[in-house]
Structure 1
Amino acid sequence: MRRRLIQSTLAVVLVVIAVFGISLVIVETRTISNSAQERVDSEALRLASIVDSRLLGDEKVTAAVFKAQVTGDRYAVIGIPGQPPIEVGTKPVGDVIHSTAKGEEGETVRVEEPRSTVTREVGRTLLIIALVALLAIIAAVLLAVRQANRLASPLTDLAETAERLGSGDPRPRHKRYGVPELDRVADVLDSSAERIARMLTAERRLAADASHQLRTPLTALSMRLEEITLTDEPDTVKEEATIALTQVERLTDVVERLLTNARDPRTGSAVSFDLDEVIQQQLAEWRPAYRSAGRAIVSSGKRHLRAVGTPGAVAQVLAALIENSLMHGGGTVALRTRVTGNQAVVEVTDEGPGVPAELGSRIFERTISGRNSTGIGLAVARDLAEADGGRLEMLQTQPPVFGLFLSRTPLKTASQGDEPDEPGTMVR
């Protein structure tokens, strides 16, 4: 592209120089020739007037008198009636420019000048024109190179930016070139880079969330299948298979929820459900894991609470909290339900050392973890809670207490709606 721009600019300049240069040469040549002819004519008239004045004054007309009057390469012949011609200067050889003037006393004056003087003057003029043309060509080449670099370099940068976008590097360059059209292309590429970066971030986040959220259900499902393979009792096999099918349904719900990545309770995803059923389901699924670790998981608090949300999402939030207590906590894990205002609260606590003070305010941020874990679980759990119109908070750091707040529907009877918080039976 640089070569084409330089060639095109140089071609335009050469055409302009050729058109105007040739015209200028022709005009200047004619002007110089006419000027030389006018000089010779003027010189002949001047000498004729001198001869007239001397004849009228009865003075002699000799070559010595006019020797100082005829200078340069000019040659003059003065013809006076009754006298031999008077020659002044050296007669030129070759082509000449001449002019003849007649005086009042009948004398004639012929002045000649060699045409080589005109040729030399035309040559000097052509040399000046050629130098100017050469300077114009050099200036045009420099300007063309500058303009070519100004246009080609941004295009090269834009091509590299597009190539980087295609290779998966969506960083915007925010570089502008002072050319409106190229800056517009740069704006579009930067906007595309930002959109691609957002899409890649969303895809990576989805992959990380899916990996984390699917790990626990798949582990629980594999444990159920292992128990099925180790028993020969039909009733136990049927019971475990039923639980496994329930877990498969929950696993499907997790996948669908991760793909949508957002829900609005007004769309119908949020429903009124029995909070006890979700809690008991989690206790049944996590009890084997806690038993294997030599620990216990219990529940207490207000019973028969109904909450508004997505049962599968609430189950995933509780699973994240229970898993967090299993990995980072210690002792017995307790799930306690209570009511505050028009909200149902599920508190998850354990007897471990709690959350370090430096992580307390950042515990729900992604990649923040007290140990060598992904740091995704609590962040995803909070997103799921907020998507259902609830919230997930850390109520206490030592011992750790996490609270899941969900909207609840008023009970049908006043006695049920005003029932105070009472602890329920411990379930192991």
Structure 2
Amino acid sequence: MRRRLINSTLAVVLVVIAVFGVSLVIVETRTISNSAQESVDSEAVRLISVVESRVLGEESVNPSVLGDQIHPRRYARIELPGRAPIEIGERPQGSVITGVERGDSGEVVTVMESRSTVTDEVGRTLMIIGAVALLAVIAAVLLAVRQANRLASPLTDLAETAERLGSGDPRPRHKRYGVPELDRVADVLDSSAERIGRMLTAERRLAADASHQLRTPLTALSMRLEEITLTEDLDTVKEEATIALTQVERLTDVVQRLLTNSRDPRTGSAVAFDLDEVVKQQIEEWRPAYRSAGRAIVHSGKHGMRAVGTPGAVAQVLAALIENSLMHGGGTVALRTRVTGNQAVIEVTDEGPGVPADLGARIFERSISGRNSTGIGLAVARDLAEADGGRLEMLQQQPPVFALFLSRVTRPKGEEPPPEPQPEPTVR
């Protein structure tokens, strides 16, 4: 591209120089010739006036007297009536410029100059014009190279930026070049880089969330299937199969929820639901895992509450908290439901060492974990809670107390809440 820009600029300059140069040479040649002719004619007029004045004054007319009136490079011939011609200077050979003037008494003055003087003057003028044209060409080359670099370098940078985007590096460069058209292309590439970066981040986040969120229901499902394979009681098989089917539905809901949040995290399907059913479902799903670990999971507090949210999302949040207690906590895990203002609160606590002091509120940040885990479970849980209009907070670090706040639905007057279930015995 640089070569094309330089060649095009030089072509334009050479055409301009050729057109104006030829015209200038023609004009200057004619001007020099006319000037030389006028100079010879003027000298002939001056010389005839001198001759006439000396003739009228009866003074002598000779070469020594008239020699000072003639240019050294010119030849003059004075013809007086009844006298021999007077010649001053050397008669030029070849082409000459001639000026002739006649006096009132018959005097004739002829002034000649060789045309070579005009040719020499024209040659000097052509040399000056040629030097100016050469300087113009050099200046045009330098300007063309500078302009080519100014235009080609940004295009090279933009090509590198586009290639970098194609190779998976979506960092915008925020570099501008002072050329509106190129700056517009740079703006578009930077905007595309930001969009690609957001898309890649969303894809990575979806993959991380999916691997974490699907692990819990798959683990629970595998436990139910193990229960089925280890029992011969038909009623137990049916019961466990029914629970497994429920978990498959929850697994489908998890996948759908992840896909929906990956498109638009604000998209939700909040409804009024029975909070006890979600808590009971989670306790039933996690009880085998806690029983295998020699621990217990219990539920206490206010019953019969209805909350606003997405049951599947609330179940995922509780599953994340319960799994977090199973992996990092100790002792009995307690789910306690209570009311504060117009909100329903589900607290999850255990008897373990709690959250390290150096983590604090950072526990909800991605990639923050007290042990060798992914560090995204609580972050995903908080995102799910906020997507439903609720919030997830850590109320206490030692022992750990996490609370899920949801909008509460007040039951109509006259409707009695269901009876509170009896607490289950602790299993150690």
TM-score (norm 2): 0.93
Determine the structure 1 residue equivalent to 2:7. Answer: 7
Q: Name the structure 2 match of 1:425.
A: 423
Secondary structure of 1:408's counterpart equals strand
User: What's the counterpart of residue 139 of structure 1?
Assistant: 139
User: Is structure 2 residue 113 aligned with structure 1 residue 113?
Assistant: yes
SS, match of residue 374 in structure 1: coil
Q: Distance in 2 between matches of 1:15 and 1:424?
A: 102
Contact 1:302 1:424 in 2 (8 A): no
Cα distance, 1:423 vs. partner?
Answer: 9.5
When structure 1 is superposed on structure 2, of 223-232 and 125-134 the one drifting more is 223-232
Separation in 2 of the partners of 1:263 and 1:411? Answer: 30
Distance 2:46 2:376 in 1: 111
Q: Answer whether contact 2:29 2:122 (CA < 8 A) is retained.
A: yes
On the 8 A contact 2:75/2:88 being kept in 1, the answer is yes
Cα distance in 2 for residues equivalent to 1:104 and 1:60 = 18
Secondary structure, aligned partner of 2:364: coil
Measured at CA, do residues 16 and 177 of structure 1 come closer, stay the same or move farther in structure 2, by a change above 3 Å? same
Q: Is 1:236–2:236 an aligned residue pair?
A: yes
Shift of 1:29: 0.3
Q: How does 1:3-402 map to 2 (within 5 A)?
A: 3-261=3-261, 269-402=269-402
> What RMSD over aligned residues (CA atoms) do the two structures have, in Å?
2.1
Q: Secondary structure at the match of 1:215?
A: helix
CA contact (8 A) 2:298 2:423 kept: no
Aligned residues: 424
State the distance in 2 between where 1:294 and 1:387 align.
Answer: 35
1:41 Cα deviation from its structure 2 partner:
0.7
Deviation digits for residues 194-219 of structure 1, max 9, x if unmatched? 12211221121111111110011111
5+ residue gaps, structure 2:
none
Matched to 2:251, the amino acid is L
Residues 312-351 of structure 1: per-residue CA shift (max 9 Å, x gap): 1111111100111111111211111222223222111011
Which moves more between the two structures, 177-186 or 28-37?
Answer: 177-186
2:61, 2:210 → 1: CA distance? 124
For 1:413 and 1:61, the matched residues in 2 are separated by 148
Higher mean displacement: 228-237 or 14-23: 228-237
Partner letter of residue 80 of structure 1? L
Counterpart of 1:94, as a letter, is G
CA distance in 2, matches of 1:58, 1:311: 139
SS of match in other structure, 2:69: coil
Asked if the contact 1:170–1:197 (Cα under 8 Å) also holds between the matched residues in 2, the reply is yes
Contact persistence 1:300–1:426 (CA under 8 A): no
CA distance in 1, matches of 2:266, 2:309: 10
**Structure 1: how far apart are the matches of 2:46 and 2:341?**
126
- Partner letter of residue 425 of structure 1? P
In 2, Cα distance between equivalents of 1:302 and 1:62? 146
Question: How far apart are the structure 1 equivalents of 2:68 and 2:340?
Answer: 129
Letter paired with 2:346: V
Tell me the alpha carbon deviations over residues 234-283 of structure 1, each in whole angstroms, 9 at most, x when there is no partner.
Answer: 33322222221111100000000111115779x7x223322222222212
Displacement, 1:23? Answer: 0.8
Deviations 1:103-126 (A, max 9, x none): 232121111111100000000111
Partners of 1:186 and 1:416 in 2: CA distance: 66
1:376-395 deviation per Cα after TM superposition (whole angstroms, max 9, x unaligned) = 11111111112222221111
Distance in structure 2 (CA, Å) of the matches to 1:362 and 1:77: 116
Query: Contact 1:299–1:335 (CA<8 Å) still a contact in 2?
Result: yes
Q: Distance in 1 between matches of 2:121 and 2:266?
A: 93
- Report the Cα offset of residue 36 of structure 1: 0.5
Deviation at 1:427, TM superposition (A): 4.9
Q: Deviations over 1:351-381 (max 9, x none)?
A: 1111122221222111221122221111111
Local SS of the residue matching 2:77: strand
CA distance in 2, matches of 1:184, 1:171: 17
Distance in 1, matches of 2:81 and 2:211, equals 128
Letter in 1 for 2:316: Q
Compared CA separation, residues 130 and 235, structure 1 to 2 (3 A): same
Distance 1:234 1:414 in 2: 42
Letter of the 1:171 counterpart: R
Deviates more, 1:347-356 or 1:404-413: 404-413
Q: Distance in 2 between matches of 1:341 and 1:91?
A: 128
Query: 1:413 Cα deviation (Å)?
Result: 4.0
Q: 1:348 to 1:424 in 2, by over 3 A?
A: farther
Change (3 A) 1:424 1:339: farther
**Is the alpha carbon distance of 1:142 and 1:127 closer, same or farther for their aligned partners in structure 2, counting shifts above 3 Å?**
same
What secondary structure does 2:402 align onto?
strand
Equivalent residues of 1:263, 1:388 under 8 A apart: no
Counterpart CA distance in 2 for 1:263 and 1:306 is: 24
**How far off its partner does 1:225 sit?**
2.1
Measure the CA separation in 2 of the matches of 1:311 and 1:185.
Answer: 47
Aligned equivalents of 1:48 and 1:60: distance in 2?
Answer: 14
| Contact map agreement 2:353 2:399 (CA 8 A) in 1 | yes
> How many angstroms does 1:59 deviate by?
1.8
